[in-house]
Chains A and B, each alone.
Chain A
Amino acid sequence: MLLGTSAAAALGGVLAGFGTSQAVAGQAPAAAPAPQGPQYLPFHGKYQSGILDAPQAHAVFVGWNLNWREGGKKDQLRSLLKMITDDAQRLTAGRGVLADTEAEMAAGPSDLTVTVGVGQNLLEVMGGAKVGTLPGFAGDKLQQRYGQSDLLIQFCGQDPTVLAHAVRAVSKNLRGLAQKLFTQRGFMHQRGSSDTFRNLFGQLDGVNNPKAEARELAVFGTPDEPSWIANGTTLALRRFEMDLEGWDEVATAGRDFSLGRRQSDGSPLTGSGPADPVDLDAVNEVGLPVIGANSHVALAMPRSAQEVIHRRGYNFIDGEVSGLLFASYQRDPAASFIPLQQRLAEADLLNTWLTPTGSALYAILPGIEPGMYLGQQLLG
């Protein structure tokens, strides 16, 4: 039996066969975003940016643990979140932060987004809302340096130099106040693509990610059934190292059978185009399933509407280590990401070539209006 875990990583099939979103899944958008340019994405709004937006080409996920001083933690956290809010609104508007020694680098933000989340530790300080932490999964070989942090900021943008400055500017302002646990950099689509991209196995990733209203529903829920807070959500961040040397030895048929989709075009083995349904009941001429029960798409297929997640992951290459920064947004991880990941971790054929080395869960703060600071809904 395969040990190891999974990766919703490669996956095309998360939503295959699922509800109305299937009808639009896989259709290429009319226009791909320009790879670079002085575009501005809003910082203020109902939700934080960098979640529902089409993924930018580059991302940096940075985790910090806070250094508490004497005195009330709530006050310290409030000050810190006010500063991060000020930094984020300046940077996304193409301006340097206060005390910035390289403000010129902020010009032309190129779709820069700065998305802020907190771990359960900080939620306790903020009043005790619950998102919890991720459980261990089969096959985990977690490294503490990629583990749960108090604070998580997802920086995304089309221009890696602007992005580098944003990370540096925020990091400088946090010196002394927090200890950086990790910096995980990722990249995704090639020019001309948008929601889908090739992961480093060569597979087309993101084919059936929920779109539009289905995405918003999966991420933020409804007014009656919101995430941990209205207009907030959760982010599961898992780091999967890929054994590319081992993967080289696998022939096309074996690769396609492990995934349940064809590497060539992302089409399921039961269809001819990426948007075609994943048919788990289909059998071949000798009566065997066309898509194996332990293929990635079969296991990743949501068992209910509650299990739908929005993946916004990135490839990474860190020295000689390659892999996927699996990042998913979902209303309720206990009802979606966690059972899905457990299923994959137990049996996914792709686990042979995947090693999970990082794992964390964050409460993503609700969006704010001008004049507010992130977390104000909780800290008052």
Chain B
Amino acid sequence: MNTKNTLKTTAALLGLGLLLTGCAQDGANANGAAASESPATQASALQASETWAKAAQDGMTAAFGVLHNSGTADVELTKVEDKAGNVIQIHETTGNGADAKMSQLDGGLKIEAGKDAILEPGGTHLMYMDLKAPLVASETGQLTLVFSDGSSTEVPFEVRNFTGAKESYENHEGMDHKNMDHESMNHDG
């Protein structure tokens, strides 16, 4: 399963071509330790950039960005938390359009050494299952990313308006959820 995730993130990176190249270096949200030969922890190898979360009053929403593993060993993101105590899952999307299905990753999100995991609408993303307080556009949220070695790092996520990619985190009234796979979700947090 982890192998599958890794392939998926690599494919996403190739699919985006060079668009994001260099973002990890100059992104306003670059976070984490500078690359070094062998970072002490997985968290210290993480460089996050282009990080943002979709504004929402309540219910479900999602966060996106580029997570770069600057180290020489693979890392695995296993848990995402915030100070508000929101339940945040790592989701993947399979299929396209009306057939898109979202589900919680079985296991963590593995990022190979030197590679990026791209979190984007329609792809892998961090999913807030039931917001405890609104995410207000223009404000900055913080998420704590926890890795398989127990290390963690705080990453800022800029909150932005977003009305595209109407997957189930869209939480719109009248939204048709029939094609979405939410078996694994717990809407009560």
Contacts and interface: CB of A to CB of B under 8 A. Distances in A.
Interface of A: 69, 76, 79-80, 82-83, 86, 89, 97-99, 101, 103, 172-173, 175-177
Given A99-B64, A103-B19, A176-B161, 6 more contacts: A79-B139, A82-B140, A98-B52, A175-B161, A176-B137, A177-B137
Nearest to A172: B161
A166 B140 CA distance: 22
Contacts of B136: 69, 79
A80 B54 contact: no
6 contacts: A79-B138, A173-B137, A173-B161, A175-B137, A175-B161, A177-B137
Interface string B45-68: 000001010110000000010000
A83 B139 CA distance: 8
A103 B19 CA distance: 9
Contact of A86 (B28, B64, B139, B162): B28
B188 to A, nearest CB: 27
Interface of B: 19, 28, 50, 52, 54-55, 64, 136-140, 158, 160-162, 164
Nearest to B23: A95
Contacts of A79: 136, 138-140
Contacts of A173: 137-138, 160-161
A24 to B, nearest CB: 39
The binding surface of chain A is classed by DSSP as helix
Contacts of B164: 101
A145 B54 CA distance: 31
A80 B161 contact: no
Contacts of B160: 83, 97-99, 173
Contacts of B64: 99
Given A79-B138, A82-B138, A101-B164, A176 B158 contact: no
A176 B162 CA distance: 11
Contacts of B158: 83, 86, 98
B28 A99 contact: no
Contacts of A176: 55, 137, 161
A196 B158 CA distance: 42
Contacts of A83: 137-138, 158, 160
Contacts of B54: 99
Which of A80, A98, A177 neighbours the largest number of chain B CB atoms within 10 Å of its CB?
A: A98
Contacts of B19: 103
A173 B139 CA distance: 11
A83 B137 CA distance: 9
Contacts of A89: 28
B138 A177 contact: yes
A283 to B, nearest CB: 62
A99 B138 contact: no
